[in-house]
Amino acid sequence: MWGRLWPLLLSFLTATAVPGPSLRRPSRELDATPRMTIPYEELSGTQHFKGRAQNYSTLLLEEASARLLVGARGALFSLNAHNIGDGTHKEIHWEASPEMQSKCHQKGKNNQTECFNHVRFLQRLNATHLYACGTHAFQPLCAAIDAEAFTLPTSFEEGKEKCPYDPARGFTGLIIDGGLYTATRYEFRSIPDIRRSRHPHSLRTEEAPMHWLNDAEFVFSVLVRESKASAVGDDDKVYYFFTERAAEEGSGSFAQSRSSHRVARVARVCKGDLGGKKILQKKWTSFLKARLICHIPQYETLRGVCSLEADTSARTHFYAAFTLTTQWKTLEASAICRYDLAEVQAVFAGPYMEYQDGVRRWGRYEGGVPEPRPGSCITDSLRSRGYNSSQDLPSLVLDFVKLHPLMARPVVPTRGRPLLLKRSVRYTHLTGTPVTTPAGPTYDLLFLGTADGWIHKAVVLGSGMHIIEETQVFKEPQSVENLVISPTQHSLYVGAPSGVIQLSLSSCSRYRSCYDCILARDPYCGWDPGTHACVVTTTGANRSQGSRTALIQDIERGNRGCEGNRDTGPPPPLKTRSVLRGDDVLLPCDQPSNLARALWMLNGSMGLSDGQDGYRVGVDGLLVTDTQPEHSGNYGCYAEENGLRTLLASYSLTVRPATPAPAPQAPAMPGAQLAPDMRLLYVLAIATLGGLCLILASSLFYVACLRRGGRGHRQKYSLGRASRAGGSAVQLQTVSGQCPGEEDGDDGEGAGGLEGGCLQIIPGEGAPAPPPPPPPPPPAELTNGLVALPSRLRRMNGNSYVLLRQSNNGVPAGPCSFAEELSRILEKRKHTQLVEHLDESSV
Ligand SMILES: *[C@@H]1O[C@H](CO)[C@@H](O)[C@H](O)[C@H]1NC(C)=O
Ligand SMILES: *[C@@H]1O[C@H](CO)[C@@H](O)[C@H](O)[C@H]1NC(C)=O
Ligand SMILES: *[C@@H]1O[C@H](CO)[C@@H](O)[C@H](O)[C@H]1NC(C)=O
Ligand SMILES: *[C@@H]1O[C@H](CO)[C@@H](O)[C@H](O)[C@H]1NC(C)=O
Ligand SMILES: *[C@@H]1O[C@H](CO)[C@@H](O)[C@H](O)[C@H]1NC(C)=O
Ligand SMILES: *[C@@H]1O[C@H](CO)[C@@H](O)[C@H](O)[C@H]1NC(C)=O
């Protein structure tokens, strides 16, 4: 257990040691809980494509012809972008021959995963042809494919310069004006490089006297049309994003004394670069790179990058997903940062770094910079001075370029800090699109893929991100490898090892009331007061129509606009519950939003608070313990979110006086004979759990909020009053919500008394084995809904799931109130059972 705490403490210490505005803010503030959780079972309206191949990792969307082209292992597919699962797809089988595969195996490569033709590159070459490259069992091949006929040509091209040998290597490639711009680890030796091929001037990076790239893993590249509307006749540029081993280790204020210190980078080259004439012949003369920081030192492993509005460089910006850089694999967390192109440009126009031979380290270059400025593109002013191309540049400049590829200043995120720091999630890919709302403002909508097959849809707000929903798109946990948005089809395509999924960009009809619609804060959704429905603001390529401007939206704050609107949705039916005095009763109420707080009202007034008068407020209902006649009345369950309140369920509870019963211990009853043994068991269980709980509470205080999300299971979040307040005391409570390995039959009918923070899984070996669980009760139809209780207790015993919450309300919240709670519930449980037997015998 302490082993788990170390990385946390360590990262905490390092975080406080490094200056910077981003690190003063507690990371909790930048975490965001997805508002809705859509598990695989509840997924609807999706299309699925899966051929015989696997590894559907290369996607190319052709909007004009509405085709989605897919590169997989041993195959290429052309799918109908309207509906990828309609069965009208075309397929090219393209696998390495068995001889090639066995040769690959002989070279020591894995014949189960690596010795295949993984298609890594797929782009439009010209009006008639596509261009594709595959690893081809460690002998890369490329082919120009007739897009219409969709068949392989008879002759192939050598792929050595264009495609990685190793299918698992990072790769990014573009075709610009017929030239291939690819960045990956080339050849059998896995040399990192940025290359231009199929071009009159093939170029690559410099290797001597120093490597411009160090063990680089490429993530993304994009062409930014900086020539368009440029007043200085600037050139278009290609930007590359990657991680590499830090050469400047031990220098600057970001020094880390770690052995394999890898950092994120952004590099750029000019499209018009032709290389040097004598110096830097067939090498880039415009290569510059800079460090990309998000939330250092913890988040430095770049996983995905997307660019928005790359067509208009004045507005171009990037989003990047980073994961935690740590050797502790149990810790998963991700960060999202936004970067403006203007900031990247400023860094490339700033001071350079230099390797100082004397002290053998990189430091800021303080000397004079030759003219024209090394690494710049050819602009009008250079042309006017006779520098028509990079080949005309003076030797002095090219010599400088050779030795100064790295800029001194790092690229910092917009506003100097991350937009999101998400615990328990490993993002593997992201994409985004600007969405213009009918009222005018444009919001960036991001789709983030996780390592276990979920998609997070998030809207970027000024201060951070709001995660609209998390959707489980693959039943089997698998890494999301590619994401493509089609505004025309209003679809998102997801590429993963097992297949391709097509999802709608929005599902506004899910929101039934005006409040629900604005609380979602989905820029695609607005409430139409005319039709009383939450509708999509834009459909396909068509911009919003005039009538749509009346739509109610509040992306910024998510709570204004529905005042005076009667569209609160159909009222929930009134359910009646009748119990005997002294019984416990659970009034189920499931909050569809993970951000909502349950609020209970009795007789239309008085918010019931947890722990008061025998009430326990939980994430899935209200538990009334030891009911008294005063508990009778009408109960309303409200969801309180973002200052808005909506009614979810209403109950009419009647507490009947207990009939003068014969002594429960009557010898005639079989249940009663068991009672003393049972009681002994309970006492034993309680005592052990109490001890266990003490140990856990003390050791887990700091781990409180490092929750591991349940994979492939619905994750329950709750934002109670306590967790929001950032409290002082720690309280252990029973677990609600579903956990891995749990039965599925008792949704919402579980034990109550649960409001709070985070679920922590504690390995069984860390604690003494708990006693055998109490025997399950006979199945019963109890009106008080406590049927499911023992199974939940069993889960706690067997799997040691403990809900930890921080609380600072004045209620006695000692670490062991869990045991007290448990004993009380068990006591009641027994009582209820006996009462039920009485009922049966009296019939
Ligand atoms: C991979 O190689 C092993 C050992 O040579 C062989 O037994 C196995 O059949 C091969 N698998 C495939 C899929 O070729
Ligand atoms: C496109 O490229 C292919 C392969 O290089 C070539 O055969 C074809 O003629 C080109 N088509 C056009 C329209 O340029
Ligand atoms: C291909 O998919 C398999 C699972 O089907 C996965 O184990 C493997 O890592 C994938 N390979 C690549 C190169 O993505
Ligand atoms: C650059 O181009 C201009 C006009 O095209 C030409 O007059 C000039 O000689 C060229 N300069 C060099 C150095 O090639
Ligand atoms: C877009 O609008 C035009 C007319 O305004 C209509 O004909 C067309 O069907 C619309 N397209 C879509 C995809 O809604
Ligand atoms: C709520 O109303 C019921 C009857 O309508 C009444 O019996 C009960 O005492 C009321 N409870 C409270 C706390 O006002």
Q: 327-371 pLDDT, tens per residue?
A: 676 788 999 999 999 999 999 999 999 988 877 788 899 999 998
554 shares its domain with 596:
no
pLDDT at residue 569, rounded to an integer: 64
Q: Tell me the pLDDT tens digit for each residue of 7-25.
A: 443 343 333 333 333 334 4
252 shares its domain with 343:
yes
561 shares its domain with 598:
no
pLDDT at 793 over 60: no
Q: How far is CA 107 from the centre of its chain?
A: 38
**Residue 769 DSSP class:** P
CB 264 within 8 A of CB 322: yes
Residues in contact with ligand 6 (CB, 6 Å cut-off)? 602-603, 630, 632-633
Question: What are the residues facing 586 on neighbouring strands?
Answer: 623
**Three-state DSSP class for residue 493:** strand
Q: Quote the tokens at residue 450.
A: 């996780």
Nearest CA to ligand 4 atom 2: 388
Nearest CA to ligand 4 atom 11: 386
Looking at all shown ligands, the one closest to residue 394's CA atom is: 4
**Three-state DSSP class for residue 491:** strand
Q: Which pairing describes strands 36-38 and 465-472: parallel, antiparallel, or unpaired?
A: parallel
Residue 54 located in a structural domain: no
Ligand 1 centroid vs 138 CA: distance in angstroms? 16
Residue 230 located in a structural domain: yes
Q: Tell me the pLDDT tens digit for each residue of 477-502.
A: 999 999 999 999 999 999 999 999 99
Assess whether the C-beta atom of 113 lies below 6 angstroms from ligand 1. Answer: no
For residues 134 and 842, give the distance between their C-alpha atoms in angstroms, rounded to a whole number.
Answer: 77
Structural domain boundaries enclosing 300 = 169-424
Ligand 2 centroid vs 126 CA: distance in angstroms? 6
Looking at all shown ligands, the one closest to residue 126's CA atom is: 2
* Structural domain ending residue among the three candidates 522, 542, 569: 569
Residue 64 located in a structural domain: no
Give the residue with greater pLDDT, 677 vs 323.
323
Give the strands of the sheet with 299-308, arranged side by side.
299-308, 317-324, 333-340, 420-423
639 shares its domain with 551:
no
287 shares its domain with 393:
yes
Nearest CA to ligand 4 atom 7: 386
Residues in contact with ligand 5 (CB, 6 Å cut-off)? 539-542
Residues in contact with ligand 4 (CB, 6 Å cut-off)? 386, 388, 392
Q: What CATH number should be reported for the domain holding residue 631?
A: 2.60.40.10
Cα three-residue angle 800-778-584, rounded to 5 degrees: 70
Q: What CATH number should be reported for the domain holding residue 199?
A: 2.130.10.10
Ligand 2 centroid vs 128 CA: distance in angstroms? 6
Place of tokens 């992306």: 555
Closest CA to 289 of 377, 341, 353: 353
Residue among 491, 542, 544, 545 whose CB has most ligand 5 atoms within 8 A, to mutate: 542
Q: Which residue spans within 237-350 are E strands per DSSP? A: 237-245, 262-270, 288-291, 299-308, 317-324, 333-340
Closest CA to 604 of 648, 650, 644: 650
Q: Tell me the pLDDT tens digit for each residue of 136-182.
A: 999 999 999 999 999 999 999 999 999 999 999 999 999 999 999 99
Residue among 274, 380, 384, 388 whose CB has most ligand 4 atoms within 8 A, to mutate: 388
180 shares its domain with 286:
yes
Which of 164-178, 421-435, 445-459, 609-623 bottoms out in mean pLDDT, i.e. has the lowest? 609-623
Cα three-residue angle 683-687-692, rounded to 5 degrees: 145
Ligand 5 centroid vs 540 CA: distance in angstroms? 8
SS3 content of the chain, % helix, strand, coil (to 5): 20, 35, 50
pLDDT at 103 over 80: yes
Atom of ligand 4 nearest to the CA of 383: 1
Looking at beta carbons, which pairs linking 190-195 to residues 24 or more positions away fall under 8 Å?
A: 190/164, 190/165, 190/166, 192/216, 192/217, 192/218, 192/242, 192/244, 194/240, 194/267, 194/269, 194/284, 194/287, 195/161, 195/162
Q: How far apart are the first and last CA of the chain?
A: 54
240 shares its domain with 289:
yes
Assess whether the C-beta atom of 497 lies below 6 angstroms from ligand 3. Answer: yes
Ligand 1 centroid vs 104 CA: distance in angstroms? 11
Which element (helix H / strand E) includes 499?
strand 499-504
**Three-state DSSP class for residue 472:** strand
Assess whether the C-beta atom of 55 lies below 6 angstroms from ligand 3. Answer: yes
Q: Quote the tokens at residue 597.
A: 């707080």
Nearest CA to ligand 4 atom 8: 386
One-letter amino acid at 497 equals: P
Q: Which DSSP string do the residues of 147-184 spell out, in sequence order?
A: TTTTB--SS-EE-TTTS-SSTTS--EEEEETTEEEEEE
Residue among 106, 111, 113, 114 whose CB has most ligand 1 atoms within 8 A, to mutate: 111
Place of tokens 């820029």: 523
Residue 698 located in a structural domain: no
363 shares its domain with 255:
yes
308 shares its domain with 254:
yes
pLDDT at residue 703, rounded to an integer: 43
Nearest CA to ligand 3 atom 6: 497
Residue 673 located in a structural domain: no
Q: What CATH number should be reported for the domain holding residue 542?
A: 3.30.1680.10
* Structural domain ending residue among the three candidates 525, 545, 569: 569
Nearest CA to ligand 1 atom 10: 111
Assess whether the C-beta atom of 482 lies below 6 angstroms from ligand 3. Answer: no
pLDDT at 790 over 60: no
Q: Which residues contact 655 (CB under 8 A, 6 or more apart)?
A: 579, 580, 581, 627, 628, 629, 631, 632
pLDDT at residue 28, rounded to an integer: 63
Ligand 6 centroid vs 651 CA: distance in angstroms? 13
| Total number of domains constituting the chain | 3
Assess whether the C-beta atom of 168 lies below 6 angstroms from ligand 3. Answer: yes
Q: Which pairing describes strands 621-624 and 585-588: parallel, antiparallel, or unpaired?
A: antiparallel
For residues 198 and 214, give the distance between their C-alpha atoms in angstroms, rounded to a whole number.
Answer: 25
CB 260 within 8 A of CB 276: no
Nearest CA to ligand 1 atom 8: 111
Ligand 5 centroid vs 123 CA: distance in angstroms? 29
CB 145 within 8 A of CB 93: no
263 shares its domain with 399:
yes
**Three-state DSSP class for residue 190:** coil
**Three-state DSSP class for residue 299:** strand
pLDDT averaged over every residue in the chain: 77
Assess whether the C-beta atom of 57 lies below 6 angstroms from ligand 3. Answer: yes
Nearest CA to ligand 1 atom 1: 111
521 shares its domain with 583:
no
pLDDT at 71 over 90: yes
Cα three-residue angle 640-597-821, rounded to 5 degrees: 145
Question: What are the residues facing 495 on neighbouring strands?
Answer: 482, 500
Q: Tell me the pLDDT tens digit for each residue of 496-553.
A: 999 999 999 999 999 988 999 999 999 999 998 888 899 998 754 444 454 555 889 9
Ligand 6 centroid vs 510 CA: distance in angstroms? 36
Q: Tell me the pLDDT tens digit for each residue of 705-735.
A: 343 333 333 444 543 333 333 333 223 233 3
* Structural domain ending residue among the three candidates 424, 449, 479: 424
Q: Quote the tokens at residue 24.
A: 């003063």
Cα three-residue angle 490-492-496, rounded to 5 degrees: 160
Q: How far is CA 195 from CA 172, 269, 725, in A?
A: 11, 10, 53
One-letter amino acid at 102 equals: S
Which of 55-69, 304-318, 538-552 bottoms out in mean pLDDT, i.e. has the lowest? 538-552
pLDDT at residue 364, rounded to an integer: 92
Q: What is the pTM of this model?
A: 0.77
For residues 529 and 497, give the distance between their C-alpha atoms in angstroms, rounded to a whole number.
Answer: 43
Could you give phi then psi for residue 656, rounded to 5 degrees?
-90, 145
Crossing angle for the helix pair 817-842 and 670-699, to the nearest 10 degrees: 160
CB 477 within 8 A of CB 452: yes
One-letter amino acid at 547 equals: S
Residue 160 located in a structural domain: no
Crossing angle for the helix pair 817-842 and 789-799, to the nearest 10 degrees: 140
Residue among 577, 603, 609 whose CB has most ligand 6 atoms within 8 A, to mutate: 603
Residue 788 located in a structural domain: yes
pLDDT at residue 836, rounded to an integer: 33
Atom of ligand 3 nearest to the CA of 73: 1
Q: Which residue spans within 295-389 are E strands per DSSP? A: 299-308, 317-324, 333-340, 353-356, 361-364
Ligand 5 centroid vs 489 CA: distance in angstroms? 13
Assess whether the C-beta atom of 151 lies below 6 angstroms from ligand 1. Answer: no
Q: Tell me the pLDDT tens digit for each residue of 643-684.
A: 888 888 999 999 988 765 554 444 444 444 444 455 555 656
559 shares its domain with 587:
no
Assess whether the C-beta atom of 111 lies below 6 angstroms from ligand 1. Answer: yes
Which of 596-600, 698-702, 750-754 bottoms out in mean pLDDT, i.e. has the lowest? 750-754
Ligand 4 centroid vs 388 CA: distance in angstroms? 6
Looking at all shown ligands, the one closest to residue 100's CA atom is: 1
Residue 433 located in a structural domain: no
pLDDT at residue 617, rounded to an integer: 87
